[in-house]
Amino acid sequence: MDILLAHGYFLVDDPHELKIMKPYPPLGILYIASYLKSRGFSVGVYDSTFSTLDEFRARLANERPPVVGIYTNMMTKQNVLAMAHIARQHGAIVILGGPEPPYYAAEYLRHGADIIVKGEGELTLEELLPHLARQGLNGLECIGGIAFVNADGQVIETLPRPFIADLSAHPWPDREAIDIPRYMQVWKTHHGQSSVSVIHARGCPYTCKWCSHSVYGNTHRRRTPEDAADELLWIQERYHPDLIWYADDVFAINHRWFFQYAEALKQRGVRIPFECISRADRLNEDVVKTLAEMGCYRLWNGSESGSQRVLDAMDRKVNVRDVQEKTHLLQKYGIETGMFIMLGYEGETVEDIEATVEHLKIANPDVFLTTVAYPIKGTAYYTEVESRIVTDKTWADRSDRDLTVAGRYSRRFYSFATRWMVSEVALNRARKNGGVPLSRRLKLLVNAKIGRVGMALTGGWRRFPARCVQDEPAAGG
């Protein structure tokens, strides 16, 4: 074996997901696995989702791979650090990649990594693995797109590697390397339908200040419509899923590609119900009609806020009214609508939160999820608030989710704000729809009042000195 690819997500350690039970496989490392195999490398894949650290340790003891590559994000950081330590104990060279390590390269290298891969991993590993086999960790300066510690103890970052130009020239993810049916069975058991995820594009060209572009930059590259449709046909014939999840950052971003893809699926007789993420400005009646014909049953929209002032501060490049209109358009064609709402962005006021509640009442999405903004290193948002970022945890014990911003409302304030928002919007819907039991409406009314009063009581905690801002939001998304 030339390399064992792994990731650090363990379902058993995620109480939130254990309630939801909608896991998806690690497509990123499966793409790398299929590419490296196509280039003649011997590749193993360790899928941690249904596993444990002890099983990872046993796999290393049994197979002794010379190199272990681990996909890393902020959610899996602590597990990855533990896995890197275990891999080093078993004599492996440890390579970390994914969105988290590039901006914390020095820290990860001090905590067990030998090499950090910046950006896409396929081409870098294709060059790096033969080098490691011949020279070990010597002479790494000639490898593009990595960071490492040289003989003098200095962190060296080599020149960035160009992005992959033709995604369709590369093979599909190596789904056969892991137990896809197990993922599908979990879905079937808990939701009555099985689901398989796909990614047809890489990157997002938009400039939302809070969003990380660590791996794919601000590029947007797509597989050809025919190649993408062939993959769906293969998935249909191999796994027979009930649902598809398009994990692209912005589905239907390119209308020409989108309509060609819809036609390619039609020609192949493929119609699998699916959900996806898109943006209001990339939707129109022709697109929405085609989405419905293709089988789209739910579309998620990053609405983020009902305050145009906040959206402009985020550089979101969306219009509140347009989001509302496109939500109604989707519902007209029978497509469920989901929204992501972000509270606590820099400069947000109570009036902005009130505007978001009114926005949700007008748009009336079928479901919305709330989160509280947090600064991710490498983003424009992080740079803007960096001088006011505080934390009471060491680097190894925290993630960027644990970073707080001095001068912002407290954690309790946002807890009350979320309670008010959810209850107020649900109460408004109950009044409009009718037929909701009085007891349910009274409960919503009480929760809305509690949330609003709680906001008023905790809102006074704003603008405390940084040392008093340790009780702020740690959630995000």
pLDDT confidence of residue 460 = 59
pLDDT, one tens digit per residue, over 277-310 is 999 999 999 999 999 999 999 999 989 999 999 9
pLDDT confidence of residue 187 = 98
Task: Give the pair of three-digit tokens for residue 334.
Answer: 């029978």
Share of the chain above pLDDT 90, in %: 93
Give 300's strand partners.
277, 338
The total of other beta-carbon atoms located within 10 Å of residue 353's CB is: 25
Task: Give the pair of three-digit tokens for residue 389.
Answer: 């970022």
Give CA–CA dist 377/44, Å, rounded.
Answer: 31
pLDDT, one tens digit per residue, over 439-474 is 999 999 999 999 999 999 998 544 333 333 333 333
DSSP letter for each residue of 156-207: EEPPPPPPPS-GGGSPPP-GGGS-HHHHHHHHHHHHSS-EEEE--EE-----
Task: Give the pair of three-digit tokens for residue 305.
Answer: 């806020």
What parts of the chain have a pLDDT lower than 70? 460-477
Nearest to 447 by CA among 409, 421, 414: 421
pLDDT confidence of residue 310 = 98
pLDDT confidence of residue 435 = 77
Which residues make Cβ contacts (< 8 Å) with residue 134, sequence separation at least 6? none
Domains and CATH numbers, the chain: 3-157 (3.40.50.2300)
pTM as predicted: 0.93
pLDDT confidence of residue 260 = 98
Q: Are 81 and 40 in contact (CB under 8 A)?
A: no
CB neighbour class for 19 (10 Å; exposed up to 12, middle 13-18, buried from 19)? exposed
144: Cα separation from own chain's centroid: 26
CB neighbour class for 7 (10 Å; exposed up to 12, middle 13-18, buried from 19)? buried
Task: Give the pair of three-digit tokens for residue 342.
Answer: 């972000």
pLDDT confidence of residue 436 = 82
pLDDT confidence of residue 469 = 30
